Amino acid sequence: MKIVPVPCLEDNYSYLIIDESSKEAAVVDPVEPQKVLQAAHEYGVHLKLVLTTHHHWDHAGGNEKIKQLVPGIEVYGGSVDNVKGCTHPLQNGDRLSLGSDLAVLALHTPCHTRGHISYYVTGKEEDVPAVFTGDTLFVAGCGKFFEGTAEQMYQSLCVTLASLPKPTRVYCGHEYTVKNLQFALTVEPDNVRVGQKLSWAQHQRQAGLPTIPSTIDEEMETNPFMRVDLPELQGRVGCQSAIDALQEIRRQKDNWRG
Ligand code: GBP
Ligand code: ZN
């Protein structure tokens, strides 16, 4: 399995997921189809599937165009999300295969949007699994609660995604890492790993490099939204439950001007 990030728009990421044996590829959120086709050409791969994380235009807005450019491409998206150009609506737990070695599992991770899907991809025995989390889980952050509740985001982040194997690589929908870690330090000023990751992320960005992938393990250690089960963190934001703490941290982030 090979993953190629394709930066798009201001701070979005599309991704090519390549099955190296067959040279078949899937693309996550191809908002600028030309850039994705260019990358597919460079790697000599054939695009078979579009995996849409959610209906927002900066993720699904390229679907109609890529269908014109790649006849026969299959477009997947959450069945309750009204994804533009969707040909194959997905439910939680649906499985797809890509080429000879890759398997894709659809995980319903609602709250940012009602039908948001994260895609968990596994390959050959030696491949580390990957999850494409769209605008549900960002590196050190999470998406705004546009179409759901703190209960749903808790389920999506702290149950569904947190249950994946710890080494799973996390590929998210936007490059928000530096701001997210600066905010994370306001919640947990003594979290050494947050401070260390912030200076690493600043160096990456100054060098024009991405800060993805993260891992599920790293997110459990540094992402305040995934740490709401910790009583210390609940205490710091004046809450007595994980869901109240998640709601409160989201409220603080919505009002935070870093
Ligand atoms: C920033 O920090 O860079 N520009 C600001 C915030 C995802 S994109 C931008 C923002 O609000 N981003 C959204 C988010 O969830 N951020 C998490 C956070 O700030 O902590 N979007 O483009 C957003 O989902 C969109 C598109 C939204 C269509 C609604 C519709 Br309808
Ligand atoms: Zn979004």
Q: If you take atom 25 of ligand 1, which residue's CA is the nearest one?
A: 56
Residue 258's pLDDT is 81
Atom 10 (ligand 1) nearest CA: 144
Distances in Å between the Cα of 127 and the Cα atoms of 2, 19, 22, 103 are 9, 11, 16, 12
Per-residue pLDDT of the chain (258 residues; tens, 9 = 90+): 999 999 999 999 999 999 999 999 999 999 999 999 999 999 999 999 999 999 999 999 999 999 999 999 999 999 999 999 999 999 999 999 999 999 999 999 999 999 999 999 999 999 999 999 999 999 999 999 999 999 999 999 999 999 999 999 999 999 999 999 999 999 999 999 999 999 999 999 999 999 999 999 999 999 999 999 999 999 999 999 999 999 999 999 999 988
Helices (H), the chain: 33-43, 57-60, 63-69, 150-154, 177-187, 192-206, 216-222, 231-236, 242-255
2-255 homologous superfamily: Ribonuclease Z/Hydroxyacylglutathione hydrolase-like (3.60.15.10)
Query: Per the residue annotation, which of 56, 81, 108, 116 is the catalytic one?
Result: 56
Q: Give the list of residues 6+ apart from residue 24 with CB closer than 8 angstroms, or none.
A: 18, 45, 46, 48, 98, 99
Q: Residue 108 catalytic?
A: no
The predicted pLDDT at position 140 comes to 99
Closest CA to 13 of 49, 55, 78, 58: 58
Whether 141 lines ligand 1, by a CB cut-off of 6 Å, is: yes
pLDDT of residue 237: 98
Report how far ligand 1's centroid is from the alpha carbon of 135 (Å): 8
Q: What is the pLDDT of residue 26?
A: 98
Going from the Cα of 148 to the center of ligand 1, the distance in angstroms, rounded, reads 15
CA of 144 to the centre of ligand 1 (A): 7
pTM: 0.98
Q: Is the CB of 77 under 6 A from ligand 1?
A: no
Can you give the residue ranges of every domain in the chain? 2-255
